[in-house]
Chains A and B, each alone.
Chain A
Amino acid sequence: MAIRQFVDRKPAELGVVGMSAIKRESVRLVLAAVLILTIVSYFVPYRPLESVVSTIVNASVIISAFALPVGAVNIIRYNLTSITKRKEEWYLNVWLLFCIALAAIPAVFYGQRQPIYQWIYNNVNLPAGSAISSTTAFFCATAMYRAFRVRNMDSFLLMVCCAITMLMNAPIGETIWSGFPIMGRWLSDYSQNTGVRLIWIGVGVGFVALCVRYIMGKETSLTGGE
Protein backbone atom coordinates (compact mmCIF):
# COMPACT_ATOMS: atom_id res chain seq x y z
CA MET A 1 0.00 0.00 0.00
CA ALA A 2 2.82 2.38 0.95
CA ILE A 3 4.68 1.57 -2.32
CA ARG A 4 1.54 2.16 -4.34
CA GLN A 5 0.90 5.52 -2.70
CA PHE A 6 4.48 6.53 -3.47
CA VAL A 7 4.39 5.39 -7.13
CA ASP A 8 0.99 6.99 -7.77
CA ARG A 9 2.21 10.40 -6.65
CA LYS A 10 2.19 12.90 -9.58
CA PRO A 11 5.50 14.61 -10.52
CA ALA A 12 3.97 18.02 -9.90
CA GLU A 13 3.41 17.06 -6.29
CA LEU A 14 7.13 16.52 -5.81
CA GLY A 15 7.94 20.13 -5.03
CA VAL A 16 8.94 21.46 -1.63
CA VAL A 17 5.95 19.67 -0.15
CA GLY A 18 6.88 16.59 -2.17
CA MET A 19 10.28 16.29 -0.51
CA SER A 20 8.73 15.90 2.94
CA ALA A 21 6.29 13.39 1.43
CA ILE A 22 9.23 11.40 0.05
CA LYS A 23 10.83 11.41 3.48
CA ARG A 24 7.57 10.30 5.07
CA GLU A 25 6.91 7.57 2.53
CA SER A 26 10.48 6.26 2.68
CA VAL A 27 10.21 5.90 6.46
CA ARG A 28 7.02 3.90 5.99
CA LEU A 29 8.65 1.75 3.30
CA VAL A 30 11.66 0.97 5.47
CA LEU A 31 9.42 0.18 8.42
CA ALA A 32 7.21 -2.14 6.37
CA ALA A 33 10.25 -3.88 4.82
CA VAL A 34 11.89 -4.48 8.22
CA LEU A 35 8.64 -5.82 9.68
CA ILE A 36 8.02 -8.18 6.76
CA LEU A 37 11.63 -9.46 6.80
CA THR A 38 11.53 -10.07 10.57
CA ILE A 39 8.19 -11.85 10.46
CA VAL A 40 9.17 -14.02 7.48
CA SER A 41 12.51 -15.00 9.06
CA TYR A 42 10.61 -16.13 12.15
CA PHE A 43 8.61 -18.65 10.15
CA VAL A 44 11.03 -19.52 7.32
CA PRO A 45 14.35 -21.05 8.44
CA TYR A 46 16.51 -19.68 5.59
CA ARG A 47 20.08 -18.89 6.69
CA PRO A 48 20.79 -15.77 4.49
CA LEU A 49 17.50 -14.21 5.58
CA GLU A 50 18.23 -14.97 9.24
CA SER A 51 21.64 -13.33 8.81
CA VAL A 52 20.06 -10.16 7.35
CA VAL A 53 17.54 -9.99 10.22
CA SER A 54 20.31 -10.61 12.76
CA THR A 55 22.23 -7.63 11.31
CA ILE A 56 19.08 -5.48 11.53
CA VAL A 57 18.55 -6.51 15.17
CA ASN A 58 22.19 -5.71 16.05
CA ALA A 59 21.88 -2.37 14.27
CA SER A 60 18.72 -1.55 16.24
CA VAL A 61 20.51 -2.30 19.51
CA ILE A 62 23.32 0.03 18.51
CA ILE A 63 20.80 2.72 17.51
CA SER A 64 19.17 2.31 20.96
CA ALA A 65 22.50 3.32 22.50
CA PHE A 66 22.11 6.73 20.90
CA ALA A 67 19.07 7.33 23.10
CA LEU A 68 21.45 7.79 26.05
CA PRO A 69 23.44 10.76 24.64
CA VAL A 70 20.23 12.25 23.21
CA GLY A 71 18.70 12.12 26.70
CA ALA A 72 21.83 13.62 28.23
CA VAL A 73 21.96 16.48 25.72
CA ASN A 74 18.25 17.16 26.25
CA ILE A 75 18.51 17.37 30.01
CA ILE A 76 21.60 19.60 29.82
CA ARG A 77 19.93 21.91 27.27
CA TYR A 78 16.74 22.19 29.32
CA ASN A 79 18.58 22.98 32.53
CA LEU A 80 20.98 25.45 30.90
CA THR A 81 18.00 27.32 29.45
CA SER A 82 16.38 27.48 32.90
CA ILE A 83 19.63 28.82 34.40
CA THR A 84 20.25 31.46 31.74
CA LYS A 85 16.65 32.69 31.91
CA ARG A 86 16.84 32.69 35.74
CA LYS A 87 13.61 30.71 36.02
CA GLU A 88 12.05 29.95 39.40
CA GLU A 89 14.40 27.88 41.63
CA TRP A 90 17.10 27.97 38.93
CA TYR A 91 19.74 27.09 41.55
CA LEU A 92 18.24 23.56 41.61
CA ASN A 93 19.05 23.27 37.90
CA VAL A 94 22.65 24.22 38.72
CA TRP A 95 22.72 21.56 41.42
CA LEU A 96 21.32 18.96 38.99
CA LEU A 97 23.97 19.74 36.36
CA PHE A 98 26.67 19.60 39.03
CA CYS A 99 25.45 16.14 40.15
CA ILE A 100 25.33 14.89 36.56
CA ALA A 101 28.89 16.10 35.96
CA LEU A 102 30.09 14.60 39.23
CA ALA A 103 28.75 11.16 38.34
CA ALA A 104 29.26 11.24 34.58
CA ILE A 105 32.83 12.54 34.29
CA PRO A 106 34.52 9.67 36.21
CA ALA A 107 32.31 7.06 34.46
CA VAL A 108 32.74 8.45 30.94
CA PHE A 109 36.50 8.90 31.18
CA TYR A 110 37.51 6.05 33.49
CA GLY A 111 34.61 3.55 33.19
CA GLN A 112 32.06 2.21 35.65
CA ARG A 113 34.75 0.64 37.81
CA GLN A 114 36.16 4.05 38.75
CA PRO A 115 36.18 4.21 42.61
CA ILE A 116 34.49 7.67 42.86
CA TYR A 117 31.70 6.55 40.55
CA GLN A 118 31.24 3.29 42.47
CA TRP A 119 31.21 5.18 45.77
CA ILE A 120 28.54 7.56 44.44
CA TYR A 121 26.45 4.61 43.26
CA ASN A 122 26.76 2.50 46.42
CA ASN A 123 26.40 5.33 48.93
CA VAL A 124 24.12 7.82 47.21
CA ASN A 125 22.20 6.26 44.32
CA LEU A 126 21.39 2.89 45.88
CA PRO A 127 20.13 4.16 49.28
CA ALA A 128 18.27 7.03 47.59
CA GLY A 129 16.61 4.64 45.14
CA SER A 130 15.56 2.29 47.93
CA ALA A 131 14.31 5.21 50.02
CA ILE A 132 12.16 6.55 47.18
CA SER A 133 10.70 3.07 46.61
CA SER A 134 9.99 2.61 50.30
CA THR A 135 8.07 5.89 50.55
CA THR A 136 5.28 4.17 48.63
CA ALA A 137 4.71 2.04 51.76
CA PHE A 138 3.71 5.20 53.65
CA PHE A 139 1.31 6.28 50.92
CA CYS A 140 -0.15 2.75 50.73
CA ALA A 141 -0.72 2.72 54.49
CA THR A 142 -2.62 6.03 54.54
CA ALA A 143 -4.47 5.09 51.35
CA MET A 144 -5.62 1.83 52.95
CA TYR A 145 -6.92 3.77 55.90
CA ARG A 146 -8.77 6.31 53.75
CA ALA A 147 -9.85 4.41 50.65
CA PHE A 148 -10.64 0.83 51.63
CA ARG A 149 -14.14 1.53 52.89
CA VAL A 150 -16.87 -1.09 52.66
CA ARG A 151 -19.45 0.98 50.79
CA ASN A 152 -21.07 -1.88 48.89
CA MET A 153 -20.66 -5.59 48.09
CA ASP A 154 -17.96 -4.96 45.45
CA SER A 155 -15.75 -3.01 47.83
CA PHE A 156 -16.34 -5.64 50.52
CA LEU A 157 -15.12 -8.41 48.19
CA LEU A 158 -12.13 -6.29 47.17
CA MET A 159 -11.22 -5.71 50.82
CA VAL A 160 -11.53 -9.41 51.69
CA CYS A 161 -9.32 -10.42 48.73
CA CYS A 162 -6.79 -7.76 49.70
CA ALA A 163 -6.67 -8.95 53.32
CA ILE A 164 -6.27 -12.61 52.30
CA THR A 165 -3.48 -11.80 49.83
CA MET A 166 -1.66 -9.78 52.48
CA LEU A 167 -1.97 -12.59 54.99
CA MET A 168 -0.71 -15.03 52.35
CA ASN A 169 2.40 -12.96 51.69
CA ALA A 170 3.29 -12.23 55.32
CA PRO A 171 4.55 -15.23 57.31
CA ILE A 172 2.44 -14.06 60.23
CA GLY A 173 -0.66 -15.02 58.18
CA GLU A 174 0.07 -18.72 58.33
CA THR A 175 0.95 -18.35 62.02
CA ILE A 176 -2.56 -17.01 62.64
CA TRP A 177 -4.31 -19.61 60.46
CA SER A 178 -2.84 -22.18 58.04
CA GLY A 179 -5.78 -21.62 55.66
CA PHE A 180 -4.70 -18.09 54.66
CA PRO A 181 -1.87 -19.21 52.30
CA ILE A 182 -4.19 -21.77 50.65
CA MET A 183 -6.93 -19.20 50.10
CA GLY A 184 -4.40 -16.61 48.91
CA ARG A 185 -2.85 -19.00 46.42
CA TRP A 186 -6.27 -19.93 45.08
CA LEU A 187 -6.97 -16.23 44.47
CA SER A 188 -3.58 -15.78 42.84
CA ASP A 189 -3.65 -18.94 40.70
CA TYR A 190 -7.20 -18.72 39.41
CA SER A 191 -8.90 -15.34 39.61
CA GLN A 192 -5.77 -13.20 39.16
CA ASN A 193 -4.25 -15.33 36.40
CA THR A 194 -7.48 -15.31 34.44
CA GLY A 195 -7.61 -11.53 34.48
CA VAL A 196 -3.94 -11.11 33.54
CA ARG A 197 -4.22 -13.64 30.71
CA LEU A 198 -7.21 -11.80 29.29
CA ILE A 199 -5.18 -8.58 29.30
CA TRP A 200 -2.26 -10.28 27.54
CA ILE A 201 -4.49 -11.84 24.89
CA GLY A 202 -5.93 -8.39 24.24
CA VAL A 203 -2.43 -6.88 24.04
CA GLY A 204 -1.34 -9.64 21.63
CA VAL A 205 -4.26 -9.13 19.28
CA GLY A 206 -3.74 -5.35 19.41
CA PHE A 207 -0.04 -5.78 18.65
CA VAL A 208 -0.76 -7.93 15.57
CA ALA A 209 -3.27 -5.33 14.37
CA LEU A 210 -0.67 -2.56 14.84
CA CYS A 211 1.93 -4.53 12.87
CA VAL A 212 -0.54 -5.07 10.03
CA ARG A 213 -1.28 -1.32 10.00
CA TYR A 214 2.46 -0.55 9.81
CA ILE A 215 2.95 -3.00 6.92
CA MET A 216 -0.05 -1.61 5.05
CA GLY A 217 1.19 1.95 5.56
CA LYS A 218 -1.96 2.90 7.45
CA GLU A 219 -0.23 3.75 10.71
CA THR A 220 1.21 7.25 10.39
CA SER A 221 1.98 8.15 14.01
CA LEU A 222 5.71 7.41 13.56
CA THR A 223 5.96 9.72 10.57
CA GLY A 224 4.27 12.68 12.17
CA GLY A 225 0.69 11.78 11.27
CA GLU A 226 -2.17 11.49 13.73
Chain B
Amino acid sequence: MASTNQKTIKWLGTHYRQEIYALLIIFGIFPYVYPLSLPLTISRDTLSFYNAINNLKQGSTVLVMYRWGSGNWGELGGCAIALNSQLAQRHLKIVFSSMGTVGPLLLERVIGMQTGGKAALGVYGVDWVDLGFAPGDEKMITAIMESPDGIWRTYGQKDNYGNNFKDLPIMAGVRDHNSIDLVVVLTANGIISHVRQVYIPYKVPILCASIGVDWPEVKTFIDSGMVVGGVASLRGSAEYERLTGFLGPATSAIAGISFNHVLLLGLLIVGNITYWYGKARKETR
Protein backbone atom coordinates (compact mmCIF):
# COMPACT_ATOMS: atom_id res chain seq x y z
CA MET B 1 0.00 0.00 0.00
CA ALA B 2 2.79 2.36 1.03
CA SER B 3 4.65 1.46 -2.13
CA THR B 4 1.57 2.30 -4.24
CA ASN B 5 1.25 5.68 -2.54
CA GLN B 6 4.92 6.39 -3.11
CA LYS B 7 4.56 5.47 -6.78
CA THR B 8 1.49 7.71 -7.13
CA ILE B 9 3.24 10.69 -5.56
CA LYS B 10 6.34 10.11 -7.69
CA TRP B 11 4.17 9.90 -10.79
CA LEU B 12 2.37 13.13 -9.83
CA GLY B 13 5.72 14.86 -9.46
CA THR B 14 6.90 13.95 -12.94
CA HIS B 15 3.87 13.42 -15.21
CA TYR B 16 1.65 16.41 -14.99
CA ARG B 17 1.41 18.54 -18.12
CA GLN B 18 -0.95 16.53 -20.32
CA GLU B 19 -3.01 15.41 -17.32
CA ILE B 20 -3.45 18.99 -16.09
CA TYR B 21 -4.43 20.16 -19.57
CA ALA B 22 -7.04 17.40 -19.80
CA LEU B 23 -8.40 18.20 -16.33
CA LEU B 24 -8.60 21.89 -17.18
CA ILE B 25 -10.70 21.13 -20.27
CA ILE B 26 -12.99 18.76 -18.33
CA PHE B 27 -13.47 21.25 -15.45
CA GLY B 28 -14.13 24.05 -17.96
CA ILE B 29 -16.71 22.11 -19.95
CA PHE B 30 -18.52 20.58 -16.96
CA PRO B 31 -20.60 23.66 -15.99
CA TYR B 32 -21.79 24.02 -19.59
CA VAL B 33 -23.05 20.43 -19.58
CA TYR B 34 -24.51 20.64 -16.06
CA PRO B 35 -25.31 24.34 -15.47
CA LEU B 36 -25.40 25.36 -11.84
CA SER B 37 -26.28 28.64 -10.21
CA LEU B 38 -23.72 29.98 -7.77
CA PRO B 39 -24.20 33.03 -5.53
CA LEU B 40 -22.61 36.16 -6.96
CA THR B 41 -22.24 39.09 -4.59
CA ILE B 42 -22.19 42.36 -6.49
CA SER B 43 -19.02 44.30 -5.72
CA ARG B 44 -19.07 47.99 -4.79
CA ASP B 45 -17.18 48.95 -7.97
CA THR B 46 -19.60 47.19 -10.33
CA LEU B 47 -22.55 48.71 -8.47
CA SER B 48 -21.04 52.20 -8.86
CA PHE B 49 -20.55 51.51 -12.58
CA TYR B 50 -24.19 50.52 -12.96
CA ASN B 51 -25.52 53.39 -10.82
CA ALA B 52 -23.47 56.03 -12.62
CA ILE B 53 -25.26 55.15 -15.88
CA ASN B 54 -28.62 54.76 -14.20
CA ASN B 55 -28.35 58.19 -12.58
CA LEU B 56 -27.78 60.00 -15.88
CA LYS B 57 -30.66 62.10 -17.13
CA GLN B 58 -32.46 60.81 -20.19
CA GLY B 59 -30.87 62.27 -23.33
CA SER B 60 -27.41 62.73 -21.73
CA THR B 61 -24.43 62.06 -23.97
CA VAL B 62 -22.11 59.14 -23.23
CA LEU B 63 -18.80 58.66 -25.01
CA VAL B 64 -17.92 54.96 -25.20
CA MET B 65 -14.26 54.30 -26.05
CA TYR B 66 -13.12 50.84 -27.19
CA ARG B 67 -9.55 50.07 -26.26
CA TRP B 68 -9.68 46.28 -26.38
CA GLY B 69 -9.19 43.56 -28.94
CA SER B 70 -10.46 40.18 -30.00
CA GLY B 71 -8.30 38.36 -27.43
CA ASN B 72 -10.21 40.06 -24.61
CA TRP B 73 -13.66 38.95 -25.77
CA GLY B 74 -13.91 36.37 -22.99
CA GLU B 75 -13.36 38.98 -20.27
CA LEU B 76 -15.10 42.06 -21.69
CA GLY B 77 -17.55 40.77 -24.30
CA GLY B 78 -20.36 40.21 -21.79
CA CYS B 79 -19.84 43.64 -20.25
CA ALA B 80 -19.87 45.36 -23.66
CA ILE B 81 -23.19 43.73 -24.60
CA ALA B 82 -24.81 44.55 -21.23
CA LEU B 83 -23.44 48.12 -21.41
CA ASN B 84 -25.04 48.75 -24.79
CA SER B 85 -28.29 47.31 -23.50
CA GLN B 86 -28.28 49.51 -20.39
CA LEU B 87 -27.41 52.65 -22.37
CA ALA B 88 -30.21 51.90 -24.83
CA GLN B 89 -32.67 51.19 -22.04
CA ARG B 90 -31.88 54.56 -20.43
CA HIS B 91 -32.42 56.37 -23.78
CA LEU B 92 -29.00 58.01 -23.69
CA LYS B 93 -27.18 59.48 -26.65
CA ILE B 94 -24.15 57.31 -27.42
CA VAL B 95 -20.96 58.26 -29.26
CA PHE B 96 -18.75 55.23 -29.95
CA SER B 97 -15.08 55.59 -30.82
CA SER B 98 -12.23 53.11 -31.12
CA MET B 99 -8.59 53.38 -30.18
CA GLY B 100 -7.73 50.10 -31.89
CA THR B 101 -8.17 49.10 -35.52
CA VAL B 102 -10.53 46.23 -34.64
CA GLY B 103 -12.74 48.39 -32.42
CA PRO B 104 -15.43 49.07 -35.07
CA LEU B 105 -15.65 45.35 -35.86
CA LEU B 106 -15.98 44.47 -32.19
CA LEU B 107 -18.74 47.04 -31.87
CA GLU B 108 -20.57 45.48 -34.83
CA ARG B 109 -20.39 42.11 -33.10
CA VAL B 110 -21.52 43.54 -29.75
CA ILE B 111 -24.50 45.31 -31.36
CA GLY B 112 -25.37 42.13 -33.25
CA MET B 113 -25.44 40.14 -29.99
CA GLN B 114 -27.42 42.61 -27.87
CA THR B 115 -31.17 42.25 -27.48
CA GLY B 116 -32.91 44.11 -30.28
CA GLY B 117 -29.69 44.72 -32.25
CA LYS B 118 -29.15 48.12 -33.86
CA ALA B 119 -32.80 49.10 -33.51
CA ALA B 120 -32.50 48.95 -29.70
CA LEU B 121 -29.94 51.77 -29.75
CA GLY B 122 -32.41 54.08 -31.51
CA VAL B 123 -32.04 55.98 -34.76
CA TYR B 124 -28.51 56.07 -36.15
CA GLY B 125 -27.16 59.60 -36.32
CA VAL B 126 -29.81 60.86 -33.89
CA ASP B 127 -29.45 58.61 -30.85
CA TRP B 128 -26.09 57.03 -31.52
CA VAL B 129 -23.09 57.28 -33.79
CA ASP B 130 -19.96 55.23 -34.42
CA LEU B 131 -17.03 57.51 -35.20
CA GLY B 132 -14.78 54.54 -35.98
CA PHE B 133 -11.05 54.15 -35.39
CA ALA B 134 -8.47 56.89 -34.98
CA PRO B 135 -4.81 56.25 -34.14
CA GLY B 136 -2.71 58.16 -31.65
CA ASP B 137 -3.76 56.58 -28.35
CA GLU B 138 -3.35 59.21 -25.59
CA LYS B 139 -3.05 62.07 -28.10
CA MET B 140 -6.27 60.83 -29.65
CA ILE B 141 -8.02 61.05 -26.26
CA THR B 142 -6.81 64.64 -25.90
CA ALA B 143 -8.04 65.50 -29.37
CA ILE B 144 -11.43 63.85 -28.92
CA MET B 145 -12.07 65.70 -25.65
CA GLU B 146 -11.31 69.01 -27.33
CA SER B 147 -13.54 68.25 -30.28
CA PRO B 148 -15.18 64.79 -30.43
CA ASP B 149 -15.37 64.64 -34.22
CA GLY B 150 -12.38 66.90 -34.94
CA ILE B 151 -10.00 64.08 -35.70
CA TRP B 152 -12.46 62.30 -37.97
CA ARG B 153 -13.24 65.56 -39.77
CA THR B 154 -9.51 65.91 -40.39
CA TYR B 155 -9.39 62.41 -41.86
CA GLY B 156 -12.31 62.61 -44.19
CA GLN B 157 -15.43 64.23 -42.77
CA LYS B 158 -17.11 60.85 -42.41
CA ASP B 159 -18.14 58.43 -39.66
CA ASN B 160 -17.59 54.67 -39.67
CA TYR B 161 -20.65 54.11 -41.87
CA GLY B 162 -19.52 56.65 -44.45
CA ASN B 163 -21.97 59.37 -43.40
CA ASN B 164 -21.00 62.99 -43.57
CA PHE B 165 -20.93 64.61 -40.12
CA LYS B 166 -23.17 67.44 -41.16
CA ASP B 167 -25.90 64.87 -41.90
CA LEU B 168 -25.76 63.48 -38.34
CA PRO B 169 -27.93 65.54 -35.96
CA ILE B 170 -26.30 63.97 -32.86
CA MET B 171 -22.96 65.59 -33.70
CA ALA B 172 -24.48 69.07 -33.71
CA GLY B 173 -24.95 68.70 -29.96
CA VAL B 174 -21.53 67.18 -29.26
CA ARG B 175 -19.01 69.96 -29.76
CA ASP B 176 -16.47 69.57 -26.94
CA HIS B 177 -15.92 68.05 -23.47
CA ASN B 178 -18.73 70.21 -22.04
CA SER B 179 -21.29 68.27 -24.07
CA ILE B 180 -20.06 64.88 -22.81
CA ASP B 181 -21.70 63.75 -19.56
CA LEU B 182 -19.86 60.48 -19.08
CA VAL B 183 -16.95 58.60 -20.64
CA VAL B 184 -17.05 54.80 -20.53
CA VAL B 185 -13.79 53.03 -21.40
CA LEU B 186 -13.55 49.33 -22.20
CA THR B 187 -9.85 48.73 -21.95
CA ALA B 188 -7.18 46.10 -22.22
CA ASN B 189 -4.46 48.71 -21.94
CA GLY B 190 -4.90 50.55 -18.65
CA ILE B 191 -6.82 53.70 -17.74
CA ILE B 192 -4.15 56.20 -16.75
CA SER B 193 -4.18 58.03 -20.10
CA HIS B 194 -7.93 58.60 -19.76
CA VAL B 195 -7.48 59.87 -16.21
CA ARG B 196 -4.78 62.25 -17.48
CA GLN B 197 -6.71 63.54 -20.48
CA VAL B 198 -10.37 63.26 -19.42
CA TYR B 199 -10.74 63.56 -15.66
CA ILE B 200 -7.82 65.78 -14.61
CA PRO B 201 -8.29 68.63 -17.12
CA TYR B 202 -12.08 68.52 -17.63
CA LYS B 203 -13.47 66.61 -14.61
CA VAL B 204 -15.68 64.51 -16.89
CA PRO B 205 -16.59 61.33 -14.94
CA ILE B 206 -15.04 58.09 -16.19
CA LEU B 207 -16.27 54.51 -15.92
CA CYS B 208 -13.94 51.68 -16.75
CA ALA B 209 -14.35 48.03 -17.67
CA SER B 210 -10.97 46.37 -17.71
CA ILE B 211 -9.29 43.01 -18.14
CA GLY B 212 -7.99 41.28 -15.00
CA VAL B 213 -4.32 42.13 -15.60
CA ASP B 214 -5.07 45.87 -15.66
CA TRP B 215 -7.48 45.84 -12.75
CA PRO B 216 -4.91 46.76 -10.03
CA GLU B 217 -4.17 49.96 -11.98
CA VAL B 218 -7.87 50.78 -12.47
CA LYS B 219 -8.66 50.04 -8.84
CA THR B 220 -6.21 52.67 -7.56
CA PHE B 221 -8.00 55.34 -9.59
CA ILE B 222 -11.42 54.14 -8.43
CA ASP B 223 -10.32 54.41 -4.81
CA SER B 224 -8.93 57.90 -5.38
CA GLY B 225 -12.27 58.97 -6.91
CA MET B 226 -10.82 59.73 -10.35
CA VAL B 227 -12.75 56.81 -11.88
CA VAL B 228 -16.35 56.53 -10.70
CA GLY B 229 -16.89 52.80 -11.07
CA GLY B 230 -15.38 49.74 -12.67
CA VAL B 231 -16.09 46.31 -14.02
CA ALA B 232 -13.30 43.88 -13.25
CA SER B 233 -12.73 41.26 -15.90
CA LEU B 234 -15.05 38.26 -16.26
CA ARG B 235 -16.27 38.29 -12.66
CA GLY B 236 -17.21 41.99 -12.94
CA SER B 237 -18.88 41.36 -16.32
CA ALA B 238 -21.01 38.60 -14.78
CA GLU B 239 -21.98 40.90 -11.89
CA TYR B 240 -22.86 43.67 -14.33
CA GLU B 241 -24.92 41.32 -16.49
CA ARG B 242 -26.82 40.28 -13.37
CA LEU B 243 -27.43 43.92 -12.38
CA THR B 244 -28.68 44.94 -15.80
CA GLY B 245 -30.71 41.76 -16.23
CA PHE B 246 -29.14 41.09 -19.64
CA LEU B 247 -27.62 37.69 -18.91
CA GLY B 248 -25.08 36.73 -21.55
CA PRO B 249 -21.67 35.17 -22.16
CA ALA B 250 -20.10 36.28 -18.86
CA THR B 251 -22.84 34.66 -16.76
CA SER B 252 -22.43 31.37 -18.56
CA ALA B 253 -18.64 31.49 -18.29
CA ILE B 254 -18.36 32.38 -14.61
CA ALA B 255 -19.33 28.88 -13.43
CA GLY B 256 -16.48 27.49 -15.56
CA ILE B 257 -14.11 29.92 -13.84
CA SER B 258 -15.28 28.62 -10.45
CA PHE B 259 -14.56 25.02 -11.36
CA ASN B 260 -11.18 25.84 -12.85
CA HIS B 261 -10.20 27.87 -9.78
CA VAL B 262 -11.01 24.88 -7.60
CA LEU B 263 -8.85 22.73 -9.87
CA LEU B 264 -5.97 25.21 -9.63
CA LEU B 265 -6.21 25.24 -5.85
CA GLY B 266 -6.19 21.43 -5.89
CA LEU B 267 -3.06 21.52 -8.06
CA LEU B 268 -1.48 23.94 -5.63
CA ILE B 269 -2.01 21.50 -2.77
CA VAL B 270 -0.93 18.41 -4.73
CA GLY B 271 2.15 20.24 -6.02
CA ASN B 272 3.20 21.06 -2.49
CA ILE B 273 2.55 17.51 -1.22
CA THR B 274 4.82 16.06 -3.94
CA TYR B 275 7.44 18.72 -3.24
CA TRP B 276 7.53 18.11 0.53
CA TYR B 277 7.36 14.33 0.08
CA GLY B 278 10.33 14.43 -2.30
CA LYS B 279 12.25 16.66 0.09
CA ALA B 280 11.54 14.38 3.08
CA ARG B 281 12.71 11.32 1.13
CA LYS B 282 15.96 13.03 0.17
CA GLU B 283 16.61 13.97 3.78
CA THR B 284 16.03 10.39 5.06
CA ARG B 285 18.51 9.09 2.50
Contacts and interface: CB of A to CB of B under 8 A. Distances in A.
Contacts of B134: 61, 65
Tell me the dominant secondary structure on chain A's binding face.
helix
A61 B270 contact: no
28 contacts: A57-B142, A58-B151, A60-B139, A61-B135, A61-B154, A65-B134, A65-B136, A118-B108, A121-B70, A133-B74, A137-B24, A140-B264, A141-B263, A141-B267, A146-B271, A148-B272, A150-B276, A159-B272, A163-B265, A166-B261, A167-B265, A170-B258, A171-B255, A171-B257, A174-B41, A175-B39, A193-B220, A195-B216
Interface string B3-18: 0000000000000110
Contacts of A122: 105, 109
Nearest to B134: A61
Given A132-B71, A133-B71, A133-B74, A61 B268 contact: no
Contacts of B26: none
Contact of A64 (B137, B216, B263): B137
A12 interface: no
A181 interface: yes
Q: How large is the interface on B (under 10, 10 to 19, 20 to 34, 35 or more residues)?
A: 35 or more
A133 B108 CA distance: 21
A46 interface: no
A64 B136 contact: yes
Nearest to A137: B24
Contact of B73 (A58, A60, A126, A185): A126
Given A60-B139, A61-B143, A125-B102, A144 B38 contact: no
Given A121-B105, A170-B262, A193 B219 contact: yes
B162 interface: yes
Contact of B192 (A130, A189, A200): A200
Contacts of B21: 138, 141-142
A190 to B, nearest CB: 10
A200 B263 contact: no
Contact of A166 (B139, B146, B147, B265): B265
A141 B260 CA distance: 9
Interface string A128-172: 111011100110111011101110000000010011001101111
Contacts of B74: 130, 133-134
A196 interface: yes
Interface string B64-85: 0000011111100000000000
Contacts of B108: 118
B72 A137 contact: no
A73 interface: no
Given A145-B267, A163-B268, 6 more contacts: A58-B143, A141-B24, A146-B271, A162-B268, A170-B262, A197-B220
A84 B77 CA distance: 42
A68 interface: yes
Contact of A137 (B38, B151, B260, B268): B260
Given A112-B160, A130-B74, A148-B268, A181 B140 contact: no
Interface in B217-247: 217, 219-220, 223, 233, 235, 238
Contacts of B39: 171, 174-175
A111 interface: yes
A159 B268 contact: yes
